[in-house]
Structure formats: C-alpha cells, structure tokens
Amino acid sequence: MTDDTPAQPTFGGHEALPGFTSTPHPLPDGRELTAWSRPGNGPTLILIPGTWGDLQSWSPLISRLPPEQAIIVVELFWQGGRALLDGPLDIPVLADAVQRVIDALQPGPFVIGGISLGGMITVEIAGRNPAGLVAAIPMEGWTHHSVRETAFHGLVHTPLSPDQERRRLAERSRRLAHLSPEQQAAVGSIWRRWNGADALARSTVPILHIWGDRGRPRPEPADLQIPRRPNITVAWIAGSSHRLLLQAPDALVRTVRNFLASAGSP
C-alpha cells in the first residue's frame, strides 16, 4: 500500500475487503457476530468462514466473483479478533446465531455457503429449510467427524507450496492471537460434536457439496456420509484438499459460479 492509497476501514483486527461494510449483531446472551455486506444482485451469497477464518479468508473466492454479486460474510463469535465470551459452542447454536443475522439483514432470496466448520453450519441451516433459502454450498463440510477416516483415511491436508504455507501460518497467527490455549481447544473441538445426516435428509433446496480429492481415488457419497438424494450433488476439485481457498481458488470459483448461475445469481 502506498502513502496515497486510502486505507480500508478495519473492524475486529483486520481490513475490510473493497466494497464491504460491517454491522455488529449482538445476541441476547451478550455475544456478538459481525456481518460484512457488499450490495449487488441476488440471490445474495452468504458465506460462513471455517474455524480459524474470517472475512479475509474468503478473499480468494470473493475477488474472483463478479463485482455485482451481492455477498454477506458472517464472522462467528471468536472471529475477526473478537473476544470469546462464555456461552455454548456447538453447531446448532452457531446456526441459530447465523440465522438471527440473516433474519435481521433480510437479504431476500439467498444462497448459503461455508467452508470446513462453516460448511457444517451450512448443512445445519439447509436442513432447516428457512424462508428465502434457495441453495446451499458446503465446502469440505463434514457430515460427521468420522468422514475423515471413512472417506479420506485420515488425510485432511496435502502439502502447500512454500508461499502458501507462509501465508497460512501468518494468517493463522493473526486469527488466533486473541484466544487463550483453552479457548482455542474449545473452538477447535466444535466440529467433533455434531452429525449432519438428519439435516441432509430433511433438506429440500439444491445442495452442492464441494470437496478436494487429495489427489486420490474419489470416495463414494456413502463414504462421505452424504445421502443419495435428488437435491444433493457432490463436486470434486482435483488435487486439492481441505484448504480449497488456498490451493485451488480458480477451480473453486468456477464450480461455485456455475452453481450460482443455476440459482439465478450473476
């Protein structure tokens, strides 16, 4: 950034992406989420970061989407440098909180998507079939923690390039610096306390499950614990792993854009 370049506004310890403004959403128990919104054409794409993500973690996807695409990124209780207050931490609770934000913002028709933990929250919300939801895009969103073994034999990540690894470590350090080791452990275990099979069985909107194939033979939906239903499709990103946004942003955005086009987005 040069001296004559205007700084982006900051909130919660990171810079806003161009065109995004933030709105805090307090909950009755004193905790708070932040929604970052960019106006545009709909359906609005609502994105939920992974466990150690935030607004910035979606930059590889957002920067490749059409500028006229309406987007909302919902940061969770501990993200964006926010202090983690006491309260229950599980996927239904997080889904309730995200739905409160959606209800408050009233985006009209929307597509919900998320990666990793955000993908699991996406599945939970899709299974509730809320008003306005037209489609869902869970990315590496486990139906159950055992999928790591049943589908991938324990292989979550494949090696990053040196530059990707430097970026990952720098971002991880920034996003965890405000959390104690005990808080990090509590947040890091959320994904193990949930099963999304019932949510997938209840869902009625089109769902696109996106996975990296780890450069290995691709598991069957049964190994992913994804039911064979006409509204659910599985898409694979060749050679990538759980870190889709770092490893394969171009392939990921092509997959997302094709799906959004079927939902009526730009």
> Can you give the pLDDT at residue 265?
82
Give me the CATH topology for the region 10-261: Rossmann fold (3.40.50)
Q: How large a percentage of the chain has pLDDT more than 90?
A: 91
- Each domain of the chain, given as residue ranges in start order, spans 10-261
pTM confidence score:
0.94
> Measuring CA to CA, how many Å separate 123 from each of 6, 41, 136, 179, 235?
39, 24, 8, 27, 15
Cα–Cα dist 46/33, whole Å: 14
Question: Looking at the predicted structure, is the pLDDT value of residue 3 above 50?
Answer: no
pLDDT by residue (tens digit) across 166-216? Answer: 999 999 999 999 999 999 999 999 999 999 999 999 999 999 999 999 999
Question: Looking at the predicted structure, is the pLDDT value of residue 6 above 50?
Answer: no
Cα–Cα dist 232/8, whole Å: 39
pLDDT by residue (tens digit) across 98-133? Answer: 999 999 999 999 999 999 999 999 999 999 999 999
